[in-house]
């Protein structure tokens, strides 16, 4: 890490504090934005011949920013990551502008990098149910409560459309809400939403709680690891990897694909798009509308496979 000039360092810390406090960005987003800024400052140190002061940043031109993005792309960074980095730098520049420490004109003038938009790849309903079934891993040499725990998490992802961070962020106090059939979830940016809980989901969580050898504290994590600490998302990812092998599923079958499956299957059965948006916690309806394309793609595939004139 380079030694930044005092004014740049203080401005960066003030910006991150603003994002955490007033904008209420998630810790992971803050970490990514901070990393983006450090990479930008490191590039500028070579590009400008020394650590960047606020005056030097204010004098940057669009060509300087294009040089940074070109260097990142040459390092193998994807278009989506470049788009996030540019968004982070624009946010920092606007923060400087509001504080009277610079201008955001060069950053605003930059076009966002092109991003190839791939469609979500949901599982079939049969595969999603198998993934959420503890019996699918009955042959593994693992304790029964761990298999029940993993199945409960998978069931929450598919049955409630939760993100893995949301499922693992549940507390012991949420057991009663799950049993009652309605759950308050804290999503991205600290936004809260209410999701209905199917009886099958509540039953899977209850089976895990009954089998868990640790006492689950009301203010502690609902899902715990083998030693009783908070459960890491990586453990669920590894469980899904084993299920892919056991069930013959493609590499696109990830924990997040269960959330895609939740939305796609609801839409395929006539679910209202606006209601699905609220269930998923999407800020914009356009984010949810991508599932209509998934449904149309499947319809065309079925047509091509079955229609005699296809």
Catalytic residue among 84, 259, 260, 265: 259
Catalytic residue among 18, 142, 171, 188: 188
72 is catalytic: no
At 52 the pLDDT is 93
How far apart CA 98 and CA 104 sit, in angstroms, is 9
Strand partners, 59: none
pLDDT tier at 269, thresholds 50, 70, 90: confident
Q: Which helix (H) or strand (E) holds 38?
A: helix 27-48
33 is catalytic: no
Residue 85 has pLDDT above 80, yes or no: yes
35 is catalytic: no
pLDDT tier at 296, thresholds 50, 70, 90: low
Catalytic residue among 59, 244, 256, 298: 256
pLDDT tier at 290, thresholds 50, 70, 90: confident
pLDDT tier at 305, thresholds 50, 70, 90: low
Residue 263 has pLDDT above 90, yes or no: no
Catalytic residue among 163, 208, 260, 265: 163
Q: Domains of the chain, with CATH numbers? A: 6-109 (1.10.150.130), 125-307 (1.10.443.10)
> How many CA atoms are closer than 13 Å to the CA of 122, on its beta-carbon side?
27
How far apart CA 259 and CA 287 sit, in angstroms, is 13
The pair of structure tokens assigned to 63 is: 């060509």
214 is catalytic: no
291 is catalytic: yes
To 10 degrees, the CA torsion angle through 252, 257, 260, 261?
90
260 is catalytic: no
């Amino acid at each position: 890490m380079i030694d930044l000039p005092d004014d740049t360092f203080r401005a960066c810390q003030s910006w991150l504090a603003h994002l955490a406090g007033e904008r209420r960005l998630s810790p992971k987003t803050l970490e990514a934005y901070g990393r983006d800024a450090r990479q930008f400052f490191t590039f500028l140190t070579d590009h400008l011949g020394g650590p960047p002061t606020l005056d030097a940043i204010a004098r940057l031109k669009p060509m300087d920013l294009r040089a940074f993005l070109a260097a990142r792309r040459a390092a193998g960074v994807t278009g989506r990551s470049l788009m996030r980095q540019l968004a982070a730098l624009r946010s920092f520049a606007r923060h400087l502008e509001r504080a009277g420490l610079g201008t955001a004109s060069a950053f605003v003038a930059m076009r966002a990098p092109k991003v190839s938009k791939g469609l979500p790849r949901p599982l079939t309903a049969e595969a999603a149910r198998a993934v959420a079934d503890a019996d699918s891993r009955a042959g593994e040499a693992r304790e029964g409560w761990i298999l029940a725990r993993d199945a409960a998490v998978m069931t929450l992802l598919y049955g409630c459309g939760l993100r893995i961070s949301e499922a693992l962020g549940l507390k012991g106090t949420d057991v009663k809400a799950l049993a009652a059939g309605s759950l308050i979830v804290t999503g991205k940016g600290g936004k809260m939403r209410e999701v209905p809980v199917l009886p099958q989901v509540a039953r899977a969580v209850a089976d895990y709680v009954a089998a868990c050898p640790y006492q689950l504290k009301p203010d502690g994590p609902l899902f715990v690891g083998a030693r009783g600490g908070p459960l890491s998302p990586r453990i669920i990812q590894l469980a899904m990897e084993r299920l892919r092998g056991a069930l013959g599923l493609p590499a696109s079958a990830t924990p997040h694909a269960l959330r895609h499956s939740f939305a796609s299957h609801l839409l395929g059965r006539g679910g209202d798009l606006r209601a699905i948006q609220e269930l998923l916690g999407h800020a914009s309806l356009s984010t949810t509308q991508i599932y209509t394309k998934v449904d149309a793609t499947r319809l065309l595939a079925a047509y091509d496979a079955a229609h005699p004139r296809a």
